[in-house]
Amino acid sequence: MKASTVLASAIALALVSPLAFAHKAGDVVVRAGAAMVNSQTDSSEIKVNGTKVAGSEATVNDNTQLGLTLSYMLTDHVGIELLAATPFTHRVGVKGVGAGIDGKLADVKHLPPTLSVQYFPLEPSSKWQPYVGAGINYTTFFDEKLTSAQKANGFSSLSLSDSWGLALQVGTDIMITDKLMLNAAIWYIDINTTASARLGGVNKVKVDVEIDPWVFMVGVGYKF
């Protein structure tokens, strides 16, 4: 028998074979996978000593890390979830400031723990468990490292303020066994920060940045 036929038969068997319960009150579900932060960056114009530099802006690139979630089912249909991850690293850049300065400014790390309440509309016996969620995100920025070129330009003391914001989520679990599952989830997270630095030791540089990322995660989960 061909390998493809065996695989197809195994999948079909998994879909039609009876399971105990997919999710029920008291279950603890751990999920892990690749999580990508897709930044939807919108920044104010950069200010130097309170004066806007016309046409300037800050940029933030995307990054992928190990995503982890821990969920507890309060009832058969309602759960609470904590989203965590290994630290994301983003390249922060500037545009429209001037020749020799435009480009990469620094590398910055952040952690975005998010606590959500989830709703699972289908019955606990369903192998397919879609869900929606809403909650609160706290993002902390740290380990801001200016590039050597920007240090030579006179930049110093870069810092980004932490952020509190709302988070929305959709996702689904597909049960492989009564314990093991595949998972896919998407979050929209409201993340706003103010970046500040010094230029030439005396000039104050500041910019407000709305990162507001989509976070995509695909992985596996296990129910205890």
Tell me: the pLDDT tens digits for 102-134?
999 999 999 999 999 999 999 988 999 999 999
Class of CATH domain 21-223: mainly beta
Q: What's the mean pLDDT when you consider all of the chain?
A: 91
Neighbouring residues of 194: CB distance < 8 A, sequence distance ≥ 6:
160, 161, 206, 207, 208, 209
Run of H or E residues at 8: helix 3-16
Question: Would you kindly state where each structural domain of the chain is located, as residue ranges?
Answer: 21-223
Nearest C-alpha neighbor of 196 from the set 170, 139, 158, 166 = 158
Predicted pLDDT at 31: 98
How confident is the model at residue 92, as a pLDDT? Answer: 95
**pTM across the whole model:** 0.84
Q: Output the pLDDT for position 10.
A: 45
Token readout for 15 is 């879909």
Question: What is the tens place of the pLDDT at every residue in 27-72?
Answer: 999 999 999 999 999 999 999 999 999 999 999 999 999 999 999 9
Mean pLDDT of 148-176: 95
pLDDT value at residue 7 = 47
